[in-house]
């Protein structure tokens, strides 16, 4: 049965549920901050441009981690695999969930997590004010892929995997 509504502050849960009908992957974004390496689980990732190579993701202004990512000159965006749920859940809860992973620091001090289906090392290019989020556009400096890693999928607030049909 179809339902229709006007998106108002009172029904942002319904808007969130409608957004959730779009299947995404799950990423973990990392950066260096004053209090050390930080990470966050995010599904607001989108590819933007091939030439120049650009991507975006959106930290929420209400997040305690927002300012660390918005002020960072560099970040890494990791597309997460089905073997990396501890990291996905860890970085949904805390900015410092690195103990669940094999990682190293880039030359810019950005944590780079190993074993991800895809990883994009970026320089922050634009910061766009957008309602209750900030849109961060990154210039992609390096790409690392792991062809054998299966991609984690997020749909309707639930985690799954992709089956081609």
Strand stretches in 4-155, DSSP E: 24-25, 27-33, 36-42, 46-49, 54-57, 74-79, 103-105, 111-113, 118-130, 133-145, 152-155
Question: CB of 159: closest distance to ligand FMN in angstroms?
Answer: 8
Number of residues that bind ligand FMN (CB under 6 A): 14
Q: Where are the alpha helices (DSSP H) in the chain?
A: 12-19, 66-71, 85-93
> Contact between 64 and ligand FMN (CB under 6 A)?
yes
Count of CB atoms situated within 10 Å of the CB of 11 = 13
Q: Which of 36, 59, 47, 52 is nearest to 109 (CA)?
A: 36
7-36 residues in contact with ligand FMN (CB under 6 A) are 26
Nearer to ligand FMN among residue 63 and residue 106 (C-beta): 63
Give residues with Cβ within 8 angstroms of 117, minimum separation 6. 79, 80, 81, 145, 146, 149, 150, 151
Map residues 76-115 to x or -, x wherever contact with ligand FMN holds by CB under 6 A: ----------------x-----------------------
How many residues does this entry show for the chain? 165
Nearer to ligand FMN among residue 3 and residue 34 (C-beta): 34
Q: Which one of 63-71, 75-83, 120-128, 143-151 is the stretch in contact with ligand FMN (CB under 6 A)?
A: 63-71
Map residues 129-158 to x or -, x wherever contact with ligand FMN holds by CB under 6 A: -------------------------x----
| Residues forming the site for ligand FMN (CB under 6 A) | 26, 40-44, 58-60, 63-65, 92, 154
């Amino acid at each position: 049965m179809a339902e229709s509504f006007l998106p108002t502050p009172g029904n942002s849960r319904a808007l969130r549920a409608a957004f959730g009908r779009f299947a995404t992957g799950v990423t973990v974004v990392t950066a260096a901050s004053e209090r050390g390496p930080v990470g966050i689980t995010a599904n607001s990732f989108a590819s933007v441009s091939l030439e120049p190579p650009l991507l975006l993701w959106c930290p929420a202004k209400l997040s305690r981690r927002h300012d660390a990512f918005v002020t960072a000159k560099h970040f890494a965006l990791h597309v997460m695999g089905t073997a990396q749920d501890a990291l996905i859940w860890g970085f949904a809860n805390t900015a410092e969930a690195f103990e669940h992973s094999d990682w190293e620091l880039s030359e810019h001090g950005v944590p780079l997590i190993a074993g991800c289906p895809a990883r994009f090392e970026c320089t922050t290019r634009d910061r766009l004010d957008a309602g209750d989020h900030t849109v961060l556009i990154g210039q992609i400096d390096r790409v690392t892929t792991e062809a054998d890693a299966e991609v984690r999928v997020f749909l309707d607030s639930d985690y799954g995997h992709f089956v081609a049909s």
